[in-house]
Amino acid sequence: MVQIDYQQARLSRDARFDGVFFTAVKTTGIFCRPICPATPPKEENVEYFETASEALVSGYRPCLRCRPESAPFSPAWFGTATTVKRALNIIHNEGFHDLNLTTLAERLGITDRYLRKLFEQQLGVSPKAYIQHQQILFAKALLHQTHLPIQDVAFSCGFNNVRRFNDAFKRITTKTPTEIKKLHTADVPIRLQLNYQPPFNWQHWRSFCEYRQINTVETLGQSSYGRTFTWQQPDGQYVKGWFNAVHRPDKHGFNVSIELDNPKYLYQVSQRIREIFDLDANVALIEQSLRSAGLPDHHIISGLRIPKCWDAFEAGIRAIFGQQVSVKAATNLLNTLVEQLGDRKWVALPANHINNGDKPHERIWFPTPEQVAKSDLAFLKIPGARKQTILNLANHFVATKGTGAENDIDQWLALKGIGPWTVEYAKLRGEGHPDIWLDTDLGIKKALDIFPSINVEHAKPWRSYMTFTMWGML
């Protein structure tokens, strides 16, 4: 565990600890990120917290200058294999709608009482308080950064009516949503800033994705990445969307524009975008683990992040295409699949763009499991067995839709044509799993010939970063 000198980190405004802890000022009742530009208070007036929820439950209100709701989520213990981490994954991946403590505890295989105990021990708050604090912090970000009307903000944050939202917001922040809202309502894309702890190795992330790009779904600029996406609702229907993220290394974050058919899923979508860029990675902990495994400093890729796919289904299809063929060949097959089966939509330009030489363009979405399952895949020039493996995966998703089992990647091993490498790769890029070691991968074997003394067990629980480091050596 990296030892943190909280006082030194806050006085130096060290951005590497943004999200690792928060500082509260006893004389003002306000809590801040360690990068807050305000004049640092005296140490005797400062109280430290590992999470924003702890500060909120202790009676402090968020700073309006550094906006703690915008901090990356990387407390000192983050990344350990705990029940609390699994609970947080459910909360942040599925959002706040229809989420209750009993259901959450059942999914974790523990009692309500034990779940409350774990939250109190590791986060300093109850699960109910934590969820509501996340709702309000996300609402505060939307009020500061977007043109969304207050009723849409409330809905996006899991509140069924504006009155309940207003009451909860004022109780926790001591201000009303109207007092916080900076921008007037307007019909423009939703724009958010998603922050990270530096460094972020944008060139490594970009190069990896460029080589595997689905041209009709993804767009890559010198400092930007965008794509279309679908979000599955509880009733099985899909919500379509699009986002574009521009890297701002000077701000330690990304400026993200989002278009979404239903704002109800805005929180889940924003969290998925965070995962795609691996924004919550605790770089200091990861690099320390790689050194412990014997990796020389000059081979550590500073600011390495795991480039995640949009969802497990896409990752599974990518992995199947990648079986025993080159990355280029697999990417060509992937592009063919999307061209043949993906939904399409022409996007008109705003009036102020028409005179800029821009043209309307077509957006294409990655095909759903249903679309793949209904096809015979005759357009793919691959062996019949490989086509059947793709259909087996698509049919598995269709058959288990809405049960949660479709995203249990370990169950894929029961499908003919899917082996351990495919499952592990899908976990790596479909879940962004931090501890995947692809020791059977040919590239990894070649890289290990360079460093036979590496003990990868010492890199736990960050072996995925060792995997990407080894790939980077090829």
Residue 360 CB coordination number (10 Å): 10
| Segments making up each domain of the chain, as ranges | 6-65, 83-180, 312-431
What is the pLDDT, as a whole number, of residue 355?
A: 47
Please give the model's pTM, rounded to 2 decimal places: 0.88
Between CA 141 and CA 153 the distance in angstroms is 10
What is the pLDDT, as a whole number, of residue 325?
A: 85
Q: Which CATH number fits domain 83-180: 3.20.20.140, 1.10.10.60, 3.30.559.10, 1.10.287.610?
A: 1.10.10.60
Q: What is the pLDDT of residues 88-111, one digit of tens each?
A: 888 888 888 777 888 888 888 899
Evaluate whether the domain defined by 6-65 bears CATH number 3.90.1170.30. no
Q: Which CATH architecture has domain 312-431?
A: Orthogonal Bundle (1.10)
Q: What is the pLDDT of residues 197-249, one digit of tens each?
A: 999 999 999 999 999 999 989 999 999 999 999 999 888 889 999 999 999 99
Residue 359 — pLDDT band, cuts 50, 70, 90? low
